[in-house]
């Protein structure tokens, strides 16, 4: 098919098969296996990537629907030599055990902090206007689409909170 998808700053041709999910396109066609397949049904968040600045479940969307879009996967967020602030914080706070959910957690957290910076309220926000203050409740609510079978939730929240404070978000 015509067109390309920008993935981590590189243009890749759209797959010929229109049935291929964005998740399978990333993992199988491009070899970007950092994005994980958990449920393949939109329930676990392991496949979370960032498309045009917004987090989505890549198992629930077709690659061809993203012709011309800009996709960021965990490989585009940081590298082993140059980890991002969130990747460093997950290591510092032990925000994982097996690590299977971690790429999705970090992609989700990256976009989630941008949502807070843009003033998007959540169900846990005390009001719908004004600056959103970081709290454990805000983080838990906003990260509720990313499951962790190892139950590392307390340390995931701590890691995200630390980065939010480093980035200058007001915390309570
Ligand atoms: Fe996409 Fe579980 S693999 S939400
Ligand atoms: Fe194992 Fe989250 S670290 S599923």
Verify that 89 and 161 share a domain, yes or no.
yes
**How many domains does the structure of the chain reveal?**
2
In a domain, 171, yes or no: no
Residue 82, burial from CB neighbour count under 10 angstroms (0-12, 13-18, 19+): exposed
Q: Is 99 in the pocket of ligand 2 (CB under 6 A)?
A: yes
How many angstroms separate the alpha carbon of residue 35 from the centre of ligand 1?
10
Same structural domain for residues 96 and 135?
Answer: yes
CATH number for 65:
3.10.20.30
Q: Is 171 in the pocket of ligand 2 (CB under 6 A)?
A: no
In a domain, 118, yes or no: yes
Q: Which of 77, 94, 122 is the last residue of a domain?
A: 77
> Looking at the CA of 43, which ligand is closest?
1
> Which pLDDT belongs to residue 2?
86
For position 129, what pLDDT does the model report?
Answer: 87
Domain extent, residue 96, equals 85-166
Q: Which residues contact 168 (CB under 8 A, 6 or more apart)?
A: none
Picking from 55, 77, 99, the residue at the C-terminal end of a domain is 77
Chunked mean pLDDT (size 10), the chain, 172 residues: 94 97 98 98 98 98 98 97 98 98 98 96 92 95 98 98 95 89
**What pLDDT is stored for residue 1 in this prediction?**
74
pLDDT computed for residue 106 by the predictor: 98
Regarding whether 113 and 68 lie in a shared domain, the answer is no
Residues whose CB is less than 8 angstroms from the CB of residue 108 and which lie 6 or more positions away in sequence, other chains included: 45, 48, 55, 143, 145, 146
- Whole-structure pTM value: 0.97
pLDDT given at position 147: 98
Same domain, 92 and 49: no
Ligand 2 centroid vs 2 CA: distance in angstroms? Answer: 38
The verdict on residue 172 lying in a domain is: no
Take atom 2 of ligand 2 and give the residue whose Cα is closest. Answer: 148
Q: Which atom of ligand 2 is nearest to the CA of 105?
A: 2
């Amino acid at each position: 098919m015509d067109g390309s998808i920008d993935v981590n700053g590189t243009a890749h041709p759209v797959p010929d098969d229109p049935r291929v999910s964005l998740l399978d396109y990333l993992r199988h066609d491009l070899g970007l296996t950092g994005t994980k397949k958990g449920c393949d049904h939109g329930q676990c968040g392991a496949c979370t990537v960032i498309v045009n600045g917004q987090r989505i479940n890549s198992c629930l969307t077709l690659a061809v629907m993203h012709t011309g879009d800009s996709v960021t996967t965990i490989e585009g967020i940081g590298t082993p030599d140059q980890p991002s602030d969130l990747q460093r914080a997950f290591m510092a706070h032990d925000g994982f055990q097996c690590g299977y959910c971690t790429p999705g957690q970090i992609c989700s957290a990256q976009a989630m902090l941008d949502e807070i910076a843009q003033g998007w309220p959540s169900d846990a926000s005390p009001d719908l206007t004004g600056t959103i203050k970081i709290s454990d409740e805000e983080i838990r609510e906003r990260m509720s689409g990313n499951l962790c079978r190892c139950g590392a939730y307390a340390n995931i929240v701590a890691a995200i909170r630390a980065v939010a404070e480093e980035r200058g978000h007001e915390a309570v």
